[in-house]
Amino acid sequence: MITYKHTFTQTEKEILDLIADLRYKATSRETIERQQNKKFPAEEIVKRGVYSEYVVSKYLNLHMNLDCNYRYDFGADLITRGGQTIDVKCTDLEHGGIATVPWTDRKDADIFIGTYAPRDLSFCEVFGYMMREDLIKPSMLRTMKTADGDKEFYLVAKKEVKTFNDHRH
């Protein structure tokens, strides 16, 4: 079910690490306050986001926004050529799906794209997507055990996501 797998070169890692460091410095207070997953330090969450956004932008041939300025709503990660907004989600669980926090219902995202990257970030896989109307609805809220106790997330299993089938948005 892997749609696209990208193994990072050393040069890519160095560039993406620099971007992640700049983004973290620009958004560190907000990243810590809104931290979705306490199993990773906030800097690591930003880094995983940068790596996964890069892979999705490469796969879909989209422009990756290198802007590191803080935006309160955190905005869309990517924008399609047709103007649809994309929120890229990354899991470190090989069989994990797409998960996002409840306040995502206020976020500007038309499409949620799922990626998997192991903890060492040696590669990243794009495994599928969900349209907003199929993910952000009460029936998709699930309670998950986290390091901070039980938390609600919009959640879809990897086997239930839509695949690209070579027709990229």
3-class SS string, the chain: CCCEEEECCHHHHHHHHHHHHHHHHHHHHHHHHCCCCCCCCHHHHHHHHHHHHHHHHHHHCCCCCCCCCCCCCCCCCEECCCCCEEEEEEECCCCCCEEECHHHHHCCCCEEEEEECCCCCCEEEEEEEEEHHHHCCHHHEEEEEECCEEEEEEEECHHHCECCCCCCC
Cβ distance 84 to 102 under 8 Å? no
Q: What percent of the chain has pLDDT over 90?
A: 56
Q: How much is the mean pLDDT over the chain? A: 85
pLDDT of residue 125: 96
pLDDT of residue 169: 47
141-146 and 78-79: which strand pairing?
unpaired
Smallest Cα–Cα separation from 91: which of 138, 37, 131?
A: 37
121: amino acid identity, one letter: L
pLDDT of residue 157: 92
Q: Region 10-33: what's the mean pLDDT?
A: 82
Give tens-digit pLDDT for 28-73. Answer: 655 555 555 567 788 888 899 999 999 999 999 998 877 655 455 5
Among the residue ranges 18-22, 38-42, 81-85, the one predicted with the least confidence is 38-42
Give tens-digit pLDDT for 111-129. Answer: 999 999 999 999 999 999 9
Domain boundaries, the chain: 4-160
